[in-house]
Amino acid sequence: MIILGLSGALTHDPSAALLVDGRLAAAAEEERFIREKHARNKRPYHSARFCLEYAGISPKEVDYVAFPFAPISLMRPDRWHFAKRYWYAPDRALSALLNGNRHFRRNRRNVLNLMGQLGIDVKRTPFVPVEHHLAHASSVYHLSGFKEKTAILGIDGKGEYATTFFGYGENGVIHKIKEFYDPDSLGGVYGALTQYLGFEMLDGEFKVMGMAPYGDPDKFDFSRLIMCDGKSIKVDTGMVNTIGLRRYKQDGIGYYFGKKMVEWLGPKREGDEIDDPYVHYAAGMQKLLEDISLQLIETYLGDILRDTGKICFAGGVALNVKLNQRIIALPHVKELFVQPAASDAGTAIGAASFLANEMGEKLETLEHVYLGPSYTTEECIDACKKHSQKPGWEIIGNAPETAARILAEGSPVAWFQGRMEFGPRALGNRSILGDPSRPGIAERINLQIKYRERWRPFCPSILDSAARDILQTDHPAPYMTFTFSVAESWKGRISEVVHKDGTARAQVVSRKTNPKYYALIEELERLRGIPVVLNTSLNRRGEPMVCSPEDALNMFFGSDLQYLIMEDLMIRKQV
């Protein structure tokens, strides 16, 4: 059975994923092809076309198209809760009750049009809507490989109306335990604070998380933003998750926080520095997120965790690696699996996998997320010939050894190999690499290559043979979805990838899933005695991760990078 999953229901992060007989054959985000971060208000045309072409599937062979957004009945509590809580904006409240599936109808119309553009016969191939949070849940549970009864957690801004999902998976079936509804959203509150701290929602949440360790989480009490009694949450919509006239506006832009919050905390933050008091606000918000999440996990998932110890987590908040570290530390948690593309991009996988499971398909466990396009050395040469900078190149015999030698000499390397990663993390195929034992390499990459805030941390990719010694745990960590406390004996040796609080958001690399990247780190260990490489995504600030050789060359010549290795080619700038 061939199922094409498409995402983009909430006007951002459209993507496509292709399941062929229960195997995830390809997945990619639209932003990578159109070079527009988050691809707002776009449909996943290029990503869907790539998936079909890569797998050698004709549009006529697609059996189903699955989409992560479904109609919500008026008989359910979702729309009534929305209307009650948004009483102060009666036009929105009444619309939820009288026309509450308008967004679904718009999505359905857009996807049917997209199917036609792709050459998929809408009369023969069914369009199947899947509830948004069930798609998130399926994307993580059905691909986890967990056989035991498994706790499932989903936290994001919102889906149709739901914002938070607690459930469990057993024998392949997902069961709901509890949901919360808009505007009562932990992810929404974190996003509103992200805007208040001067960052963009969908992207800046990582920055708030990175800023938090520099502040004092107890200096300001943020509990007034969202009340929690251990069983439910209620947001102060005068402060955050506001709509209509309650919104704070500046220069004609309306934000998701209210005028009341500006009156309480002071002016909205501007600029790139980590300054007082805003750094403490970030710390307070991060603590609030963690504390409330853990309370609710205990209430709704505690019994399951005490029984089997397995938990899956998806939704945008699942990319909050500090929260994930605290979940792993819970006494009854044996293993946490986080969907590596946990945000809405991953719901393309989830919609397809949910439908596949419903149809009786046996789904393969997710082994890696190298699911995007790849390019041959010959295609890389062709890109060099066509590029306006007319770069010179040389064919190298051993790319990992060459890259490791350059790193050992103190220079960063742009590393472009194999299939592009799916999800927000560079995992060794579209990466900028550095030697983490070289003082100053992180600041050099931040300021001269990535052009981003100097306080932003970098991540280590660690050989699996050394991970336990460095991270003090055997917990699986292939996708940079967790932070761990770095052993004291290693903090000074790899200081460029250790954050302010002594943690690192690590990727543990195995030879099986990425042999070329593994060989590079092995060679760096031989040269420098460090089984770790600094790894950050191959892009500049505000841009998507590169996809094609042309993208890599544009990024290379638009920064101070000196070395780019694409497959078996090395391109260096003339000195």
Contact status, residue 331 vs residue 143, Cβ threshold 8 Å? no
User: Dihedrals φ, ψ of 263, to 5°?
Assistant: -65, -35
17 SS3 class: strand
Contact status, residue 138 vs residue 353, Cβ threshold 8 Å? yes
Q: Nearest-CA neighbor of 213 among 400, 517, 483?
A: 483
**Inter-CA distances, 345 with 38, 153, 316, Å:** 9, 17, 9
CATH of 2-142+340-358, one of 3.20.20.140, 1.20.140.10, 3.30.420.40, 3.30.1180.10: 3.30.420.40
Give the per-residue SS3 of 451-474: CCCCCCCCEEEEECCCHHHHHCCC
Give 81's contacts (C-beta < 8 A, 6+ positions apart): 161, 181, 182, 184
Give 523's contacts (C-beta < 8 A, 6+ positions apart): 400, 401, 404, 405
Give 134's contacts (C-beta < 8 A, 6+ positions apart): 174, 350, 354
User: Dihedrals φ, ψ of 414, to 5°?
Assistant: -85, 125
Neighbours of 433 (CB within 10 A): 30
Domains 2-142+340-358 and 186-338 share a fold: yes
175 SS3 class: strand
DSSP at 370: B
Amino acid at 335: E
CATH topology classification for 377-572: DHBP synthase (3.90.870)
Question: b/e string for 200-230 if b means 16 or more Cβ within 10 A?
Answer: ebbebbbbbbbbbbbbebeebebeebbebee
Domain boundaries, the chain: 2-142+340-358, 186-338, 377-572
pLDDT value for 203: 87
d(CA 424, CA 218): 31
Question: Would you say the C-alpha torsion 185, 453, 368, 70 has a positive or negative sign?
Answer: positive
- The CATH homologous superfamily for domain 186-338 is ATPase, nucleotide binding domain (3.30.420.40)
pLDDT tens, residue order, the chain (575 aa): 999 999 999 999 999 999 999 999 999 999 999 999 999 999 999 999 999 999 999 999 999 999 999 999 999 999 999 999 999 999 999 999 999 999 999 999 999 999 999 999 999 999 999 999 999 999 999 999 999 999 999 999 999 999 999 999 999 999 999 999 999 999 999 999 999 999 999 989 999 999 999 999 999 999 999 999 999 999 999 999 999 999 999 999 999 999 999 999 999 999 877 789 999 999 999 999 999 999 999 999 999 999 999 999 999 999 999 999 999 999 999 999 999 999 999 999 999 999 999 999 999 999 999 999 999 999 999 999 999 999 999 999 999 999 999 999 999 999 999 999 999 999 999 999 999 999 999 999 998 888 888 778 899 999 999 999 999 999 999 999 999 999 999 999 999 999 999 999 999 999 999 999 999 999 999 999 999 999 999 999 999 999 999 999 999 999 999 999 999 999 999 76
pTM, 2 dp: 0.97
DSSP at 37: G
52 SS3 class: helix
pLDDT value for 575: 61
Give 82's contacts (C-beta < 8 A, 6+ positions apart): 92, 93, 96, 100, 161, 181, 182, 183
Residue reference for tokens 């990838």: 497
**Inter-CA distances, 315 with 105, 139, 202, 319, Å:** 23, 10, 12, 8
CA geometry: angle at 539 spanning 538 and 545, to 5°? 80
